[in-house]
Structure 1
Amino acid sequence: MSMFRVRSIQVDHGDSLLVSYTSDGHVRHLLVDGGPENPSKTLLKVLEKVHKEEGVNGRLRLEVLVVTHYDLDHIEGVIDLLQQKPSWLEIGDIWFNGYEHLQPADKLGPAQGDKLSKLIRTLGLPWNACFPNVRAGGEGGAIHQGVLPVTLPGGLEVRVLSPDEPGLKALAKVWTNPQSPPPDEGVGHRDRLGPNDRWPLKDYLDYRIGGFTADGSKPNRSSIALLLTFDSKRVLLAADALASVVTSGLKMHLPDLRPIDLLKVSHHGSKRNTDRDLLNRINCRRFLISTSGAKHQHPDFDLIALLLSRNNGPDIIFNYGEGWPGKWKNKPSSWKFNAVFPRPNDLFVDIEL
């Protein structure tokens, strides 16, 4: 019997997603991001639990470990995990666009590499091995929406929707020091708290969705967004990607408008990373929002209102049941959606497809 599930791990304001699928009785896993540094112990606790329950021959294998981009709330937990990698953890491939994937070969040297790149090489782990490398020698090639789909062991099909090549070129212009990636651009003032983002919330009927202003962050534009297909179910993991780039990736990889069964909403529910064009394209009724809301008070009210304007009574799934997300437990009745929260004492919200 097949199984396809996503566990959104509680790593504060960051992202860390464990995707699991079963083929012929064998459970396989894909880990996407590790959250920021301090909550990384939560990620390890979850992996330890999965290792005990689902490991094979005393080991837990990640078919792929994806690092979507260089923002600290996605990458620091991965660095922590690799710096003290458990002996029982096996990693089939790491997908990550480093400095060497952005620059022409004549600008690279054998000593160049940032912290994560050095860790990958020190541990001797495969790196972008699933993607063609147009350069001689070295690791695999850059990950972008133009590459062919990848089918992982057990039949999980992966299509890259973001970044596009212009996004990688834009990041290359600001990543000028091979030893140090550009700083996390953080969240602009207009994205922190909109003028209406105050509790108690108004009735939805009194709410007006404002105009859309797109995210302009170069690291976010370089985010790896993935479309996963398994057993006729589709999951879109949008990382912090830009709506326009994800939409163009969908047109490239899924031109016939097939429905998406779960969207991991981009940028923790920021109103600047999801637009109506994207929602119209995916025909989705289940939305995952990954954040504690503690730092930037995501998700934005505008984003929730946008999801409802396109859907009648969707599921909106939060990986935290307290704090800013937990306030949605007491939403006015006019906000017509099914709010889903983690089970008590769980370190993640568990979504079965």
Structure 2
Amino acid sequence: MAGEFMRIEMLAALHGDCLLVEYGDVRRTRRILIDSGPVGAYEALRGRIERLPKGDRRFELMVLSHVDTDHIEGLIKLFANPRPWPFVVKDVWFNGWRHLEQAHGLLGGRQGEFFSALLAKRLDEGCWNGAFKGQAVVVGDAGALPEHVLPGGLKLTLLSPTLAKLERMREAWRKDLGDALDPGDLEAAWALLGQQKKYLPGKGLLGSSAQLDSLIEKQSRPDDAAANGSSIAFLAEYAGNAGMAASGNEMPGGKSRSCLFLADAHPDAICASVKRLLQARGLARLRVDAVKVAHHGSKANTTDELMSLIESPRFLFSTNGQQFGHPDEEAVGRVIGRSSHPSPTLYFNYLSEHNRVWQERQEQFGYKAVFNDGSGSPMVIAL
């Protein structure tokens, strides 16, 4: 159908990720939300939702990729608001202890337990990992990669996490909780969440009058490899109601648009899944319209092997560079130097001391760099 579109907004999520994906046609816009940034970025998310048309604040899916604070905290605060919410969400993908004990574990810690408690209390039955029948969002060791088609024709192919990655996370989850909570005790997590001021809307959860802690321990977690390995990452492809192309970007009835959303996933897991996908589709390289670069451009998450498996004209970097100094120069250089697409375009949702150098090297290395305007508005990439 004429007028079909897919666009990605990188919200001002400080050093984290908060991505709004809209797709549809002239008749209807559908959307998904991926992550939410740290709690300090919550107002950007809240404001963006409020700017959606009244009566059309529906999300087909929200994805919490993993439990690092720079991805999860905004969603904790969003879901802490009492219902009715000013938006509708049909499904939420998030691997909590209740799922991952079945898959032999996953790191979660306090934020993971808090979000699990909120989903259990707030969501309607069947809306937590609903596409997976309430089970873990995970890539099996064999067979076809899990696929799910959202209403309107957005096809998601899961690339991460694998069972092996989740198995590494059980003890890390337990260790992070310490003596504060037992894993999976959502009633205890709910009670503890009610004492966390930074997440509370107004007077508290459900208008509770319980005494709030005057001093709140800073909730922080090292952005370690184990947490990143548990990331939910996927390929999103949109070709409208005509269906999904098995290969290439063109298909009868219209243009297929696609993006790799890599969260903070480990490159070995992504490469293994992409190879399985290429074999199934009979392709040598996966052509996509954009790649949301893993882990904010950390040098440990973008490899030569990954770059050899994909072809894309656009690479998206979501970070203001605070705390961890991302993107790393090595990662950006690898994207440019190993890209199979001539003159790729790099999109940065902030201009910072850590990425300013890429504004100056465009002519030298033959790429294009686009930076957000600094207004605090989302950076919009139309595919």
Q: Quick check: 1:320–1:326 contact (8 Å CA) kept in 2?
A: no
Q: 2:37 aligns with which of 35, 38, 51?
A: 35
Structure 2 counterpart of 1:61, which letter?
Answer: R
Q: Quick check: 2:15–2:319 contact (8 Å CA) kept in 1?
A: yes
In 2, distance between residues paired with 1:158 and 1:106? 24
Shift of 1:219: 0.8
Q: Quick check: 2:104–2:167 contact (8 Å CA) kept in 1?
A: no
Structure 2 counterpart of 1:345, which letter?
Answer: S
Change in 2 beyond 3 A, CA 1:59/1:260: closer
Unaligned runs of 5+ in 1: 133-139, 188-216
Aligned counterpart, 1:199:
none
In 2, distance between residues paired with 1:326 and 1:296? 16
Q: 1:299 aligns with which of 321, 327, 341?
A: 327
Shift of 1:326: 4.0
Q: 2:277 aligns with which of 253, 269, 276?
A: 253
Shift of 1:283: 1.4
Aligned counterpart, 1:227:
235
Task: Give the share of equivalent positions with the same residue, in percent.
Answer: 33
Aligned counterpart, 2:50:
48
In 2, distance between residues paired with 1:122 and 1:93? 14
Aligned counterpart, 2:260:
236
Q: Quick check: 2:350–2:374 contact (8 Å CA) kept in 1?
A: no
Aligned counterpart, 2:194:
none
**2:198 matches 1:170:** no
**2:57 matches 1:63:** no
Aligned counterpart, 2:313:
285
Shift of 1:261: 1.2
Q: Quick check: 1:149–1:158 contact (8 Å CA) kept in 2?
A: yes
Q: 1:89 aligns with which of 87, 90, 94?
A: 87
TM-score in terms of structure 2 length: 0.75
Query: Relative to structure 2, which stretch is displaced further, 152-161 or 335-344?
Result: 335-344
Change in 2 beyond 3 A, CA 1:13/1:183: closer
Q: Quick check: 2:103–2:163 contact (8 Å CA) kept in 1?
A: no
TM-score in terms of structure 1 length: 0.81
Q: Provide the aligned length of Structure 1 versus Structure 2.
A: 307
Q: 2:76 aligns with which of 74, 79, 86?
A: 79
Q: Deviations over 1:23-59 (max 9, x none)?
A: 462100000000001111111111211x13xx5xx24
What SS is found at the alignment partner of 1:325?
coil
**2:301 matches 1:273:** yes
Shift of 1:106: 11
Root-mean-square deviation (CA), in Å? 2.3
Aligned counterpart, 2:5:
3
Aligned counterpart, 1:210:
none
What SS is found at the alignment partner of 2:78?
helix
Unaligned runs of 5+ in 2: 175-181, 190-218, 240-255
Structure 1 counterpart of 2:139, which letter?
Answer: Q
Structure 1 counterpart of 2:236, which letter?
Answer: L
In 1, distance between residues paired with 2:60 and 2:362? 43
